[in-house]
Structure 1
Amino acid sequence: MVRPEKLAALKERMEALGICEQDLEESFVRGSGHGGQKVNKTNNCVYLKHLPTGIAVKCHVDRSRELNRFLARRELCDAVEQAQTGQCAARARVIQRMRRQKDRRRRRRSIHPNSSADSV
């Protein structure tokens, strides 16, 4: 279940990007991948298309339709933002965090290059 604060923040972000609920075409389809009977019998994968831009996303992260609807809208916001500005702020933050983590790991390895060999 998605918290009301997160729903409100998503709604504000959609308004800021100029995405209206009327401009969205939403359908529920069967998902794919692991899950067996639950995946094969339920339509909880969300297909969301923004009609003015033609951007479409498909989300089947969770078994919950409500959560998939929220995540699909968030992915759509990222895609529209990337189309408008050339890059997505949320994706840029994730990439920046990964780079910092890799830098920390690289520094640790350079300080203790044979630490894993000593423990054997």
Structure 2
Amino acid sequence: MATTPEHDAKIAKITFSSVYPHYISKIEKKGRTKEELLEVIEWLTGFNENDLNNLIEEKVTFQTFFEEAKLNPHAELIKGVICGYRIEEIETPLTKQVRYLDKLVDELAKGKKMEKILRK
């Protein structure tokens, strides 16, 4: 399933600060911790907790968030379906990167072991 230019533009404009609390809520409901979420985000993006707090305070969009990220070279190992899209078939780099993050949060919430989430 291909994304549309409108869909891609909408994702680019979403602020990370508007989504982050939902990530925390989702994983904590399933017994996971904020520290685990931070580990997953740092693995994918290179951002530590201080970096994230600054990005949240600045209300950066996902476009800026991923422009500043140092994407993990193993991110391409993240596969599967998230939000109705097969990640490996998404052609727009930014949309793919956002879905990588969504998939990792989803795997964390589903109780996967950290070494599997971090593709070790």
Scaled to the shorter chain, the TM-score interval is 0.3 to 0.5
Name the structure where strand makes up a greater proportion of residues: 1
TM-score by length of 1: 0.36
User: As a proportion of its length, which structure holds more helix?
Assistant: 2
TM-score (norm 2): 0.36
Higher relative contact order (CA 8 A, sep 6+): 2
Larger Rg: 1
